[in-house]
Structure 1
């Protein structure tokens, strides 16, 4: 069993390098996860004005879901599986941008999951520390959404079936 905090988040995700947007898993249980993220100068989505667009919150929240699945895979002696972000319902953005130097708290909780690999998670992203002068949204809440994801139990079989159907 992995214990928190988990600093090697990349080992839990099918991502690498700068595409790993989470810094640390702070807590998890069977259906939920909390993680931290930092907006640093080398952030992959940094704009020339020194901010990151708030819409990138969807990717941070999706990586929380992937990290939770990665933890369960690790704890079950399995490999990390690829998953797909299918879309979102009820996406609310409460800021336009995230400033350089802000610290974020991302949270996800499973709402539903079926045996075919489809799931819905309720997610949020909050700024817990920001540079002086940045006006925080109410309660630091930057984004809130229900994310629809798909991680087939047999990815190779699913991809072969999908390719066969398109030819």
Structure 2
């Protein structure tokens, strides 16, 4: 994997405050590794925690970053995409707390444009805390 040369705002179709991932640390032809830091001003924070189910959006935005990196590398603009469904989602914790660093990884499983399937994981302190298979659509 190689470092991502782009700022997160350059590769996501989203705009603040709905950009939920902080940065992409590395990528390759099939994988993106991104980071989410949970802070006091993190979106969806309530009573000091973000519910673990928000992790599906962390994975979805990491997939969007994968698409954005591919588009930028090809000299194209970033395009909108949609999370269609999630299968086999497993959450091993109820929430993410202020100060947590989440390492999000998404890996392409199947690509038949305009549909694609990715496997996603979230690790906190090297422990797997969430995993899912995500189906996405990019018109």
In the superposition, the TM-score normalised over structure 2's length comes to: 0.94
Unaligned runs of 5+ in 2: none
Aligned length, in residue pairs:
138
TM-superposed CA distance for 1:18, in Å, is: 1.9
Could you tell me how far 1:5 is from its partner in structure 2?
A: 4.3
Paired residues for 1:1-167 under 5 Å: 4-6=3-5, 8-47=7-46, 49-115=47-113, 117-128=114-125, 140-152=127-139
Please state whether the residue corresponding to 2:86 is helix, strand or coil. strand
Query: Unpaired runs of 5+ in structure 1?
Result: 129-138, 153-167
Aligned residues: CA RMSD: 1.3
1:27-66 deviation line (CA, Å, top 9, x unaligned)? 101111101110011111000x100000000000001100
Structure with higher Rg: it is 1
**More displaced 10-residue stretch of structure 1: 26-35 or 7-16:** 7-16
- For normalisation by structure 1, the TM-score amounts to 0.79
Moved over 6 A (4+): none
Q: Which one has a larger percent helix, Structure 1 or Structure 2? A: 1
Greater strand content: 2
